[in-house]
Amino acid sequence: MDAATFESLMDKIQLQIIGTNDALYVKVLALRDAVLRKPIDLCLFTEDLSGEVAETIIIILSDENVIGCGMLKCLSPEEMQLRQMAVDKAFQGLGIGRMLVAEAELLAKKSGAKSLLLHARQTAIPFYEKCGYSATGAAFTEVGIPHLLMKKELA
């Protein structure tokens, strides 16, 4: 992507916070299924998603399309979890993921959280390390693939 195309894209994107009752939530589910479940032969739509009503859903839109998403779950008054991070393959490597992480950290701080943790797939560990997250334990299996618990203290 050349610089002009990149600038044009950055001018078009919007960051929004939505709930499960928002019409865009269906697009969030489709993105998460395509990026996080189909590549490992699973289907998001067979999972119990009822708990998501209590979570904060962060999305990035481009031309009415959800190109990135992440969710914040409150674990305690001082700790939140960033989960279900997904960026459309066509937009990966452009800073969309970093924007989502930065917004999640800002929202977590505003809510009073002192730390943010996440379950990182092995392939995403370098990305989260660049964002300031550190491993806090041994690898574990989630949705049939290796993950690592990572955490960042929020200043």
**DSSP single-letter state for residue 37:** I
Tokens of 72: 């914040």
Q: Which amino acid is at 81?
A: Q
- pTM, rounded to two decimals: 0.92
Model confidence pLDDT, tens digit, residues 61-102 = 998 999 999 999 999 999 999 999 999 999 999 999 999 999
Integer angstrom CA distances of residue 74 from 7, 8, 81, 87, 147: 35, 35, 6, 22, 20
Binned at pLDDT 50, 70 and 90, residue 5 comes out as low
* Arithmetic mean of pLDDT, 37-58: 97
- d(C-alpha 81, C-alpha 73), whole Å: 5
Print the SS3 string covering 106-131: HHHHHCCCCEEEEEEEHHHHHHHHHC
Question: 9 falls in which pLDDT band (50, 70, 90)?
Answer: low
Percent of the chain with pLDDT over 90: 90
- Indicate the Cα dihedral angle 101, 83, 130, 141, nearest 10°: 180
